[in-house]
């Protein structure tokens, strides 16, 4: 995202807001002219699409993780916890996250490395990691 103070030029990958005197000659280059003064073109780097390959955890794993998260955070009955739920959004701090991981280790009979535990931020990430650990444990 680019912005210029005083002349309001803002750009995002899909939405370009322009002021009079600003033109886009091609999607990767912007020329700017203010009160007759022309500035050098700005060349934008194309966005590289991000591809992420994940193996979705089994639904029963996600369900168990949701239950453990609700229990560890003492969430009220009827609280909505899904695979997309972020621990922080549910009110978990770093100590809560450690307790969630410990609960997961106990429930599933696994051991989670500290580095892996620190990278878990959502229920889905936890469930994916658990299934991956269980798969490698049985192999």
Catalytic residues: 93
In contact, 44 and 88? CB cutoff 8 Å: no
DSSP conformational letter for 120: -
Q: Say how many C-beta atoms besides its own lie within 10 A of residue 52's C-beta.
A: 4
In contact, 66 and 42? CB cutoff 8 Å: no
Torsions phi, psi for 102 (to 5 deg):
-65, -40
CA distance 22 to 25: 10
């Amino acid at each position: 995202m680019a912005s210029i103070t005083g002349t309001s030029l803002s750009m995002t990958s899909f939405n370009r807001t322009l002021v009079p005197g600003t033109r886009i000659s091609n999607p990767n280059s912007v020329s700017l002219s203010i009160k007759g003064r022309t500035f050098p073109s700005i060349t934008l780097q194309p966005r590289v699409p991000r591809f992420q390959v994940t193996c979705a955890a089994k639904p029963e794993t996600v369900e168990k993780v949701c239950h453990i998260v609700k229990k560890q955070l003492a969430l009220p009955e009827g609280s909505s916890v899904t695979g997309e739920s972020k621990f922080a959004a549910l009110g978990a701090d770093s100590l809560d996250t450690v307790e969630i991981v410990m609960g997961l280790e106990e429930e599933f009979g696994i051991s989670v490395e500290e580095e892996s535990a620190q990278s878990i931020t959502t229920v889905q990430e936890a469930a994916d990691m658990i299934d991956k650990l269980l798969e490698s444990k049985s192999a």
